[in-house]
Amino acid sequence: EIVLTQSPATLSLSPGERVTVSCRASQSVSSHLAWYQQKPGQAPRLLIYDASNRATGIPARFSGSGSGTDFTLTISSLESEDFAVYYCQQRNNWPLTFGGGTKVEFK
């Protein structure tokens, strides 16, 4: 099973700041990595698929990069609606696996 390790676990930030979330895989997942956003009481929402492709309707301030074992989700300028938990997920191998999540909270 591929283990995805996200860091940091929590980010305390203010609106307007740049956000960088890391996801490291225990073995190569090629570019087969996705990112999700989840707000309290809501289902997750796909942000990025296959490392760097924004999903439909996702604002341009969200971007993804990386390949192999190291990936990054970047929010260029944090907006109030972006405070949430972010998860990475790999689809390179069965079983599909998620990272443990990164909570972006108000500073």
Is 75 or 88 the residue whose CB approaches other proteins more closely? 88
**52: Cβ–Cβ under 8 A, 6 or more apart, which residues?**
31, 63, 64, 65, 66
CA distance 54 to 56: 7
Is 42 or 80 the residue whose CB approaches other proteins more closely? 42
Within 41-70, which residues bind other proteins (CB under 8 A)? Answer: 43-46, 49-50, 55
Pick from 99, 101, 75: nearest CA to 14: 75
Per rule CB under 8 A, is residue 13 in the interface with other proteins?
no
Is 19 or 34 the residue whose CB approaches other proteins more closely? 34
Per rule CB under 8 A, is residue 97 in the interface with other proteins?
yes
